[in-house]
Amino acid sequence: QVQLVESGGGSVQAGGSLRLSCTASGYTDGSYCMGWFRQAPGKEREGVAGIDSDSSTSYADSVKGRFTISQDNAKNTLYLQMNSLKPEDTAMYYCAADGLLCAASIGTISDLWINYWGQGTQVTVSS
């Protein structure tokens, strides 16, 4: 079992920045990779960014150039730096862990296939 705990959400005006963190604990043997998903009200959960064991990254088209995913393996912590935030970025953001995230681009992975989730952290961007 892997436990994921997110932090760093909040409210910000359009154009602002936030950094999300996700700390993993439990079975942290490196057999999985991690990523971020988000779900806006009334919408399906969608992949935002993923990172594999070699720190290769993938992003949803909607966040490319604005969001940066990174990881600190020594701390078992995943980050999402979000810059130039837009109102349409408003959503609950979830940290995810699964072996699939090691092998495929975030845009090709359904949230239905993910085994481990954090509890989510709310990001609200006002115009």
Q: What is the 3-state secondary structure (H, E, C) of the chain?
A: CEEEEEECCEEEECCCCEEEEEEEEECCCCCCEEEEEEECCCCCCEEEEEECCCCCEEECCCCCCCEEEEEEHHHCEEEEEECCCCHHHCEEEEEEEEHHHHCCCHHHCCHHHCCEECCCEEEEEEC
- Average pLDDT over the chain reads 94
pLDDT range class, residue 28, cuts 50, 70, 90: low
Show the tokens assigned to 10: 């909040």
pLDDT value at residue 26: 85
User: Which residue in this structure is represented by tokens 């990001």?
Assistant: 123
Is residue 74 over pLDDT 80?
yes
